Amino acid sequence: MPSTKTVDLAAHPLTAWQGPLGLPDFAHIGDSDFSPVFDAALTAHEAEIDAIAGNKDAPTIENTLAALELGGEALDHVSSIFWCRAGAYTNETIQALERDISPKMSRHFSAISMNEKLFARIDDLYQRREHLGLDAETLRVLEKTWKGFVRSGAKLDAEGKKRLARINEELSSLGTAFGQNVLADERDWALFLDEADLAGLPDFLKSSMAEAAEMRGQKGRYAVTLSRSIYEPFTTFSERRDLREIAFKAFTMRGQNGGASDNTEVVRDMLKLRAEKAELLGYASFAALKLDDTMAKTPKAVHDLLDPVWEKALEKAAADQKELERLAAQAGSNEKFAAWDWRFYQEKLRAEKFAFDEAELKPYLQLDRVIDACFDVATKLFGITFEEKKGIVAWHPDARVFVVKNADGSERALFLADYFARPSKRSGAWMSALKSGYKLGNGSKPVIYNIMNFAKPPAGEPALLSVDEAKTLFHEFGHALHGMLTDVTWPSVAGTSVSRDFVELPSQLYEHWLTVPAVLEKHALHVKTGKPMPKALLDKMLATRTFGAGFATVEFTSSALIDMAYHARPDAPAEPLRFEAETLEKLDMPDTIAMRHRTPHFGHVFSGDGYSAGYYSYMWSEVLDADAFAAFEETGDPFNPALAERLRKNIYAAGGSKDPEELYTAFRGKMPSPEAMMVKRGLV
């Protein structure tokens, strides 16, 4: 391996971004480059931290807080490219590096947060904060930084610091292992079918399955994979109950199949370490630690939201199941109604109640036109425009590059998007940044990306989306706008750097514009005829927005309640999967519905700790987003200019520069109650 001395961080393509449009020069980045550059960048950042901590001058905002925020640029650059690759286009080399780099990064940042001289300087500023004449954003950054150090062990004794650093390192390695195990199960499983096995499947799904089979070396056959974009429509439309059962069991058993990719022990060890970490830092539970810096604040507040929703969802699901069992009996089924029957008969019930099925909508939801709709809504609301730049090399040939411009034509950001599923990409959909946007120092323009997992069509055919997939695209683009519209000074409060239960507001709110009739009339054009979606079909689609609410809410809320059950207790369960089963039994979870994310593949919670004790956040933000969109509906104009400007200024541009309640109240005038969310979901 090359020595760190051979790496020139000022010139290396991983750290000095000199590609087109100021992007990394991906064409000149190889897998073998990462390790030596990481080592050099870590060493460089250590030297910067030592210089800040050892400064003989009295601490100031400039020589301590700003220096800390702006330090580690080379490390930021190589990290952002590497974690993009690890999620979106991995291989054995990248995965081996991930297992090596994760604990290294954990050790590095533990050392920073436990650096006594550095904390002494931050603490000095914090104690004098009321007398420094700071603006509101700088004061908030100072307070958050101080609290972050304390929550990371700055006040522990030497033995406590050593143990916490070790816990963090082990958790980092376990989180990496968890994610790689799930990816292995998803990559290695496929159910190959022939033409005779495809009864009930619409053409769009057959095309996607044919492409998936060809990608796996089975040209001429059809593959059911564990990508949601294939799994969910297959279990919705396949008339073969035996095949639906096979697919359902494979999907729900990801991460729990024995052997090298089994996550049972990984989860057990992570929960044990998290409980120990919370105790070490003086918190009653890991949930108490994680919620301390959120809008909810306490596990009780989370349950105050989730518990009433759970009761309503159970009632709705039970009533719906009776209807589905009626349809199954009418179809001649003598089998006990099972979880792999739900989507299939729910689609039949939709057809019966509303005289259409989801497959009717697909020809009107072409991927490129839904992308255009996302951009068009952003232009109408916020005045920004998007221009695709062809031929620019990114991390994978499927990734696309767009320049984002302000209304005056000046460049605001870059947006990259990678839409199609492949075996080298982890499942799900997400937004992240190669660079965040801020004004401190020389400033930085945002470079934001979205990752999706839509089924790739055969060459020459357009990709068609389901309504849920189109919503996912709008959702992740809402996160992207949060990153692109950021207008703050300090990097640590830029874009999506907000509390976990506020971060989903911009994304979930943006979903509402997908079903604004004017948006669909313009962009939902038939793939063959080019004609807009007929009003009758549009009306049916809008009428079914709350259809299946019981199923969807039980799926989601059970996952959120299990997450909270694991983390709100002071210790860790000895057998997490038994604990999952016992908790679901106490909750009266129907055996005909599976959690949206069972424990062994619950990446939000165990592939890192981003949403650990935080999966409830989607529903917490949903209370806000239902109320926020109601503000537009109350004006009669979904693009009301005055309201859009308040939305931009206080939600999308403000990042974490102010308290979330203050930001929301500045936009809406008040905080909402959960009622609007319950109505939106069709539960009341």
Tell me the per-residue pLDDT of 91-135, one tens digit each, with 9 for 90 and over.
999 999 999 999 999 999 999 999 999 999 999 999 999 999 999
For residue 635, what pLDDT band results from cuts at 50, 70 and 90? Answer: very high
If one counts every other C-beta atom within 10 angstroms of the C-beta of residue 99, the result is 13
Q: Are 160 and 237 in contact (CB under 8 A)?
A: no
pLDDT digit string, tens, across residues 449-471: 999 999 999 999 999 999 999 99
pLDDT at 504 over 50: yes
pLDDT at 437 over 70: yes
Return the closest-CA partner of residue 195 out of 214, 220, 219.
Answer: 220
**% residues pLDDT > 90 (the chain):** 95
Sorted by where each starts, the structural domains of the chain and their CATH numbers stand as 18-154 (1.20.1050.40), 188-251 (no CATH), 361-530+614-683 (1.10.1370.40)
223-244 average pLDDT score: 97
Tell me the torsion sign for CA atoms 626, 630, 631, 632.
positive
Residue 558's SS3 state is helix
Q: Are 625 and 512 in contact (CB under 8 A)?
A: yes
The tokens for 459 are: 């060459």
Helix or strand holding residue 433 (H, E)? strand 430-435
Strand partners, 387: 403
Q: How far is CA 495 from the centre of its chain?
A: 14
The tokens for 452 are: 């999706």
If one counts every other C-beta atom within 10 angstroms of the C-beta of residue 181, the result is 24
The tokens for 248 are: 């359902």
Q: Are 38 and 82 in contact (CB under 8 A)?
A: yes
For residue 5, what pLDDT band results from cuts at 50, 70 and 90? Answer: low
How does DSSP assign 387-418, residue by residue?
Answer: EEETT---SSTT-EEEEEE-TTS-EEEEEEEE
344-349 average pLDDT score: 97
**How would you classify the pairing of strands 411-420 and 430-435?**
unpaired
Residue 496's SS3 state is coil
Return the closest-CA partner of residue 178 out of 672, 623, 610.
Answer: 610
Q: Are 481 and 654 in contact (CB under 8 A)?
A: no
pLDDT at 4 over 50: no
If one counts every other C-beta atom within 10 angstroms of the C-beta of residue 100, the result is 15
Give the max Cα distance, the chain: 83
26-55 average pLDDT score: 97
pLDDT of residue 273: 98
Q: Which residues contact 168 (CB under 8 A, 6 or more apart)?
A: 106, 109, 110, 277
Q: What is the DSSP-derived secondary structure letter of residue 451?
A: E
Q: How far apart are CA 175 and CA 656, in angstroms?
A: 26
pLDDT of residue 552: 96
Q: How far apart are CA 462 and CA 141, in angstroms?
A: 46
Return the closest-CA partner of residue 44 out of 122, 99, 108, 92.
Answer: 108
The total number of residues written for the chain in this structure: 684
pLDDT of residue 144: 97
Q: What does R_g of the chain's alpha carbons equal in angstroms?
A: 25
241-249 average pLDDT score: 98
The tokens for 391 are: 């031929």
Strand partners, 405: 385, 411
Q: How far apart are the first and last CA of the chain?
A: 62
Estimate the share of the chain in helix, then strand, then coil, as percent rounded to the nearest 5: 60, 5, 35
Q: How far apart are CA 192 and CA 169, in angstroms?
A: 40
Strand partners, 366: 464
Catalytic machinery residues: 476
Q: How far apart are CA 470 and CA 388, in angstroms?
A: 20
Q: How far apart are CA 680 and CA 549, in angstroms?
A: 10
Return the closest-CA partner of residue 118 out of 172, 176, 32, 50.
Answer: 50
In the block, tokens 């619950």 appear at 602
The tokens for 104 are: 């290294």
Query: DSSP H helical segments within 426-534, as ranges?
Result: 467-484, 505-511, 517-523
CA angle 573-555-271, nearest 5°? Answer: 20
> What is the identity of the amino acid at 12?
H
At how many degrees (to 10) do helices 34-53 and 92-113 cross?
10
Q: Are 474 and 513 in contact (CB under 8 A)?
A: yes
In the predicted model, what is the mean pLDDT of the chain? 96
Q: Exposed/middle/buried for 640, CB within 10 Å: 0-12, 13-18, 19+?
A: middle
CA angle 341-342-343, nearest 5°? Answer: 100
